Structure 1
Amino acid sequence: MTEAVEDSYIRMVRRVAHLRPEATALLIGDDRRTYGALLDNAGIRARELKVLGLGAGDRLGILMPTSVDFVEIMIGAAMIGVVTVPMNTRFKTIETRHIIVDSGMAAIYTTDAIDDVVNFAELLASALPGLETQTDAGALAIDGVPGLRAIVQIGAPRPAFVEAAALRDRALALPLPDEGEAPAATAPFLLMYTSGTTANPKACILSSRAFLSTAARLAERYAIGERDIWWCPLPMFHVGGIIFMSLVLSRGGFYIGMRHFTPDAAFDLVERFRPTVLYPLFPPITLAIMDHPRFAKADFGSARYVFSVAPPDVQMKIQTAFPTATLCSAFGLTEACGAVTFSPPDDSAEDRLTTCGTPLPGWDVRIVDPETQQPAGPGQPGEIEIRGVGLFDGYFGDAGLTAAAFTPDGFCRTGDIGSVDPGGRLRFHGRFKDQLKVGGENVSALEVESFLCSHPAVKQAQVVGAPDERYGEVVAAFIELMSGAELSADDVLAYCAGKIARYKIPRYLRFVQDWPMSATKVQKHRLRDRIAAELAAGHG
């Protein structure tokens, strides 16, 4: 298919559906859709939203796992200019209420499909006191949440929730949305909330133009076409779960998502569909696959690419484990539709494994001294600032935070530390808040984590600061071992001795089997709280 950047998301979907109506667009769980069916069902969803009284500019929450329903609702919203707000399914009462109130959403779609794992109806009832006593499901009146009109339940009927089947019957009586109702390219398409690992989540305003421009440039860099099969287990409340699906849809390919990641389910999909692109991206997912008993016999030979962001030692392990695929890395953030730099596939292995690649066309990346705001020289670390075609339009409802995020010449301050080599490749050195200060010496958490992960028994390591009366703080490391591996604290210390500076060697070690997670990231503030509490209780 020829490259195209439409002026709205729905025009992109319509174009591909008209060209390839019978081709499979996506598969999630047991639910499969052709491009034609996806467009038709999205039209029904758009009419459902009209029945609920939503129109251009209104916000719609989607609280459900990755699913075909999610995609159809999002595309249906785009048909009439309704802005989708993906809701993190891992959030609890306080975070869920914050998103509902902060976004001013007018309606929510949810489901009982995973009640045995998380009951969304109960979550919403706890986040919205008074919901269960509402007598008119189509005209909610909840104290403190004046904008919320309705919550649609897909599945068994529930009091105070609009029944999805009845809503659909009413929607089918309405005419299809006119193609002229599609919003402009610059209109908001999504409000994507950041993971909020250290503060309340904040909503990034992302337009169709930002998403489609990003998708087009990614497709060009990796020559993605209609024969590609892209496997991605990232949730759709994460920007990566939507941008790469959008990339595949824009090129008429086949996207395979997962309602819930498990290694066994991933192996089943790989064996059945033979993906050409593997996008696990984050080490907790990639390493879980590599550490699984089925990995030794699995055939990943169909994959052209595997994508991962991790320290170089972990990247080397992953590339070695997938010898016939090209490992590529990236740097992105929600404010940039998830994609700023990506490894050119023809880069050397060393460059692909040790850097985040070069900026996509249409992006500028610069490194500045955080104190002087002067440009850093080649290879010199500083704050990463970005400007480009996929940049967000600001934080919803917070002009002050938006103004603080941008420089006078339009660059976004990321809060991340990086450097750019003479070839223009970005190296990521961590976040400023991941810098420890040990007796006046700066310590990069990422540097220590990378070193610990070079031990063959270490699956994942996370480093945080632990309070110390003498030094202010010292290094504390949480370590997850590879399956069947054995390692003691003394073994770790012996491995570090003489290889890294003494002030970088962990003073405290904790071996763990699971991690406190947000959407895709380990919540380091919870690890810091844990070690501080243990030390306060005398457990050194």
Structure 2
Amino acid sequence: MQRCELLTPAAADVPEQVIGDVLGRAARLGPADPLVRTVTPHEERVWTAAGLLADAERVAAGLLARHDPGARIATCLVNGPEAVLLQFGVALAGMVLVPVNPRSRGPELEHALRLSGAEAVYAAEDAAGDPAADLAAEVAGRLPALREVHRCTGDWRALRHDRTVDLPTVPPQGLAQIQFTSGTTGRAKGVQITHSGMVATSHAFRDRIGLPEGGVWVNPMPLFHTAGNVLGVMGALWQRCEHVVVAFEPARVLELITQHRATLLSAAPTLLDLLMARPEIGQADLSSLRVVFTGGQTVSPGFVDRVESAFAAPLITTFGMTETCGSALLPAPTDPDPVRRTTVGRPLAGTGVRIATPDGVPAAPGEVGELWLRGERLTPGYYRDPEATAAAIDPGGWLHTGDLAVMDAAGACRIVGRLKDMIKTGGENVSPEEVEEAVVSHPSVARAAVVGAPDERWGELVVAFVVPEPGAAIDPAELERHCRARLSPFKVPRAWRALEELPMTASTKVQRAELRRMAAADPALRPAVAP
């Protein structure tokens, strides 16, 4: 490979093109196979493949009795049976699912419902103390399109219709979902996701993981994001395994892995940290695990080592966005250690990748550039926002991710930062991720995030926010010595702030914009001696 541009062909001879096809395939190949297990405080329920298809069709019938195909149906639900059945029921009815974080505040929920034009919303009566259903009822009066607010209490049976109906034919390029990005600034954009995009991504994800059919996937990732409902729900459907859907609670997740002999665990890095901090992990039998899957943020080689030591299974880390149905690049569990520990792997099937120079041409291997992605399974754009679409996707169909990456000669990519997050100090560029990797390699640090604080002389100063390991204390002088042994002097943080936890978005990404605001507003973070 002379230049950093790859196109991985889409998988051939895959007749399933829409969500209903994949569900039908599972029911045809193994009707009695356990396919979904939902675990809630009220009930633990298992659906066979045939039973899930039948109930999903009855949910679709209920929706079609009140709405036309194409209608936007919003959900504001925690992980549970209602979220799973509505995901499939809406798809079979030829409608568009609008999954919204049940912890959303009023303005966020109203924005999602208004922009999508949702006709109905199914909202949790109580989502971890947040009255999502009350909020939905409150904003409904200001939304003429919103005709129905359904309060969900865990009784999934109420979703089913008692009559069968003819289900519509759904086109592969038809809109399946509108998911809202968890941007740190500005109003969230509605990402359009097609049936074929979800089907192709989950198929490619399943293939790259490489596990044999069957097994048990434990998935505490929220189903209102692509990691939960594309890679999780749809990936497990292709795998024809038992998919254990549960809201994240560390002790419960560890118990489920042990009890059901899980072969795959899906969890964001923050959730893995919380699992590893639990005393129960020492007694949990995790020997059945074959893969631990994560994503949503870059992780250090040291973090990979900690996870693999704790779970005795390879950790694979994806690069993905809502715009890519959750995954674009992914290592295989069998890849060599350097690939799994330091990269996000190679492009999935049906994905074009370019590491672009500032001129937009492919970079040379090892050269830093912006990560561009292309392929039919990616989003066609942002709903009712042509300006944002044009800003993100160029006329050649390339999605400009805003992430900086390096590709090696074998096509594996390493994420090295964000264009907008790059710190410029004294005329030098500093990648926050590089500094964070050095900081978290100190035994007293559990997590770290690095941002720039404005400075008249230097442009920006490097500031580190750190979360200490339990029982540890942060010693700025010691951390500075530690970093100076690993980084060029201009990259070493000039100020340090200890936090109990880093501010995170709903999809567990660090809110760098909030940290930049904190750094700019707090004069105590300014160093006494300039770098």
Pairs within 5 Å for 1:179-198: 179=167, 181-198=168-185
Q: Does 1:39 align with 2:53?
A: yes
Note if contact 1:80-1:177 (Cα within 8 Å) is conserved in structure 2.
Answer: no
Per the TM alignment, residue 256 of structure 1 is displaced from its structure 2 partner at its CA by 1.4
Note if contact 2:494-2:527 (Cα within 8 Å) is conserved in structure 1.
Answer: no
Identity fraction in percent:
33
Alignment deviations for residues 346-373 of structure 1 (CA, whole Å, 9 cap, x no partner): 3211111111111112211111113x11
Alignment deviations for residues 271-330 of structure 1 (CA, whole Å, 9 cap, x no partner): 1111111222x321111112221222332211111123412232233233334x222222
Note if contact 1:8-1:182 (Cα within 8 Å) is conserved in structure 2.
Answer: no
Per the TM alignment, residue 167 of structure 1 is displaced from its structure 2 partner at its CA by 7.4
Aligned CA-pair RMSD: 2.3
SS at match of 1:392: coil
Q: Hey, what does 1:286 align to over in structure 2?
A: 272
Runs of 4+ with >6 A deviation: 163-167, 536-540
Which one of 116, 121, 127 corresponds to residue 133 of structure 2? Answer: 121
2:291 aligned partner, one-letter code = Y
SS at match of 1:516: coil
Number of paired residues?
508
Q: Distance in 2 between matches of 1:537 and 1:205?
A: 41
Per the TM alignment, residue 164 of structure 1 is displaced from its structure 2 partner at its CA by 8.9
Per the TM alignment, residue 514 of structure 1 is displaced from its structure 2 partner at its CA by 2.2
Per the TM alignment, residue 248 of structure 1 is displaced from its structure 2 partner at its CA by 0.8
> Cα gap change, 1:308/1:46 in structure 2, threshold over 3 Å: closer, same or farther?
closer
> Cα gap change, 1:379/1:494 in structure 2, threshold over 3 Å: closer, same or farther?
same
The more displaced of 3-12 and 420-429 is 3-12
Q: Does 1:453 align with 2:430?
A: no
Q: Hey, what does 1:63 align to over in structure 2?
A: 76
Q: Distance in 2 between matches of 1:408 and 1:277?
A: 39
Alignment deviations for residues 363-401 of structure 1 (CA, whole Å, 9 cap, x no partner): 11111113x112211110111111124211211111222
Q: Hey, what does 1:306 align to over in structure 2?
A: 292
Alignment deviations for residues 431-456 of structure 1 (CA, whole Å, 9 cap, x no partner): 11111111221111111111111112
SS at match of 1:329: strand
> Cα gap change, 1:408/1:166 in structure 2, threshold over 3 Å: closer, same or farther?
closer
Which one of 308, 316, 322 corresponds to residue 319 of structure 1? Answer: 308
Note if contact 1:5-1:212 (Cα within 8 Å) is conserved in structure 2.
Answer: no
Q: Distance in 2 between matches of 1:340 and 1:113?
A: 34
Per the TM alignment, residue 47 of structure 1 is displaced from its structure 2 partner at its CA by 2.3
Alignment deviations for residues 97-156 of structure 1 (CA, whole Å, 9 cap, x no partner): 111111111110112143x61111232245x1xx5xxxxxxxxxx34x221111111239
Q: Distance in 2 between matches of 1:531 and 1:124?
A: 35
Per the TM alignment, residue 415 of structure 1 is displaced from its structure 2 partner at its CA by 1.1
The more displaced of 523-532 and 74-83 is 523-532
Per the TM alignment, residue 177 of structure 1 is displaced from its structure 2 partner at its CA by 3.1
Q: Distance in 2 between matches of 1:205 and 1:493?
A: 45
Pairs within 5 Å for 1:172-251: 172=162, 175-179=163-167, 181-244=168-231, 245-251=233-239
Q: Distance in 2 between matches of 1:405 and 1:98?
A: 21
Q: Hey, what does 2:33 align to over in structure 1?
A: 23
> Cα gap change, 1:265/1:167 in structure 2, threshold over 3 Å: closer, same or farther?
closer
Q: Distance in 1 between matches of 2:333 and 2:304?
A: 15
SS at match of 2:372: strand
1:361 aligned partner, one-letter code = A
Per the TM alignment, residue 489 of structure 1 is displaced from its structure 2 partner at its CA by 2.1
Q: Distance in 1 between matches of 2:289 and 2:96?
A: 35
Q: Hey, what does 2:148 align to over in structure 1?
A: 150
Note if contact 1:333-1:339 (Cα within 8 Å) is conserved in structure 2.
Answer: yes
Per the TM alignment, residue 216 of structure 1 is displaced from its structure 2 partner at its CA by 1.6
Q: Distance in 2 between matches of 1:504 and 1:203?
A: 37
SS at match of 2:420: helix
Alignment deviations for residues 211-230 of structure 1 (CA, whole Å, 9 cap, x no partner): 11112222222234442211
Per the TM alignment, residue 503 of structure 1 is displaced from its structure 2 partner at its CA by 2.3
Q: Distance in 2 between matches of 1:286 and 1:537?
A: 30
Note if contact 2:495-2:527 (Cα within 8 Å) is conserved in structure 1.
Answer: no
Q: Hey, what does 1:81 align to over in structure 2?
A: 94
Per the TM alignment, residue 457 of structure 1 is displaced from its structure 2 partner at its CA by 2.1
> Cα gap change, 1:512/1:535 in structure 2, threshold over 3 Å: closer, same or farther?
same
Q: Hey, what does 2:318 align to over in structure 1?
A: 330
SS at match of 2:522: helix
Per the TM alignment, residue 418 of structure 1 is displaced from its structure 2 partner at its CA by 0.6
> Cα gap change, 1:499/1:220 in structure 2, threshold over 3 Å: closer, same or farther?
closer
> Cα gap change, 1:164/1:363 in structure 2, threshold over 3 Å: closer, same or farther?
closer
Q: Does 1:395 align with 2:382?
A: yes
> Cα gap change, 1:59/1:301 in structure 2, threshold over 3 Å: closer, same or farther?
same
Q: Distance in 2 between matches of 1:167 and 1:149?
A: 17
Q: Distance in 1 between matches of 2:394 and 2:386?
A: 14
Q: Distance in 2 between matches of 1:190 and 1:364?
A: 23
> Cα gap change, 1:452/1:524 in structure 2, threshold over 3 Å: closer, same or farther?
same
Q: Hey, what does 2:338 align to over in structure 1?
A: 350
Alignment deviations for residues 9-43 of structure 1 (CA, whole Å, 9 cap, x no partner): 11221221233233221222223322222222222
Q: Hey, what does 1:414 align to over in structure 2?
A: 401
Note if contact 1:226-1:254 (Cα within 8 Å) is conserved in structure 2.
Answer: no
Per the TM alignment, residue 535 of structure 1 is displaced from its structure 2 partner at its CA by 2.0
> Cα gap change, 1:166/1:70 in structure 2, threshold over 3 Å: closer, same or farther?
closer
Note if contact 2:81-2:156 (Cα within 8 Å) is conserved in structure 1.
Answer: no
Q: Hey, what does 2:7 align to over in structure 1?
A: none
Q: Distance in 2 between matches of 1:495 and 1:164?
A: 54
Alignment deviations for residues 82-103 of structure 1 (CA, whole Å, 9 cap, x no partner): 1001101232122111111111
Unaligned runs of 5+ in 1: 132-141, 157-162
SS at match of 2:378: coil
Alignment deviations for residues 36-79 of structure 1 (CA, whole Å, 9 cap, x no partner): 22222222221222233x22221111001111111101211111
Q: Distance in 2 between matches of 1:274 and 1:489?
A: 44
2:104 aligned partner, one-letter code = F
Pairs within 5 Å for 1:367-516: 367-370=355-358, 372-516=359-503
SS at match of 1:347: coil
Per the TM alignment, residue 539 of structure 1 is displaced from its structure 2 partner at its CA by 11
Note if contact 1:4-1:216 (Cα within 8 Å) is conserved in structure 2.
Answer: no
SS at match of 1:17: helix
Pairs within 5 Å for 1:255-294: 255-259=243-247, 261-280=248-267, 282-294=268-280
Q: TM-score, normalised by structure 2?
A: 0.90
SS at match of 2:395: coil
Q: Distance in 2 between matches of 1:119 and 1:152?
A: 13
SS at match of 1:433: coil
Q: Distance in 1 between matches of 2:68 and 2:518?
A: 46
Q: TM-score, normalised by structure 1?
A: 0.89
Unaligned runs of 5+ in 2: 1-11
Q: Distance in 2 between matches of 1:443 and 1:420?
A: 19
SS at match of 1:289: helix
Alignment deviations for residues 246-268 of structure 1 (CA, whole Å, 9 cap, x no partner): 01112311111222x12211111
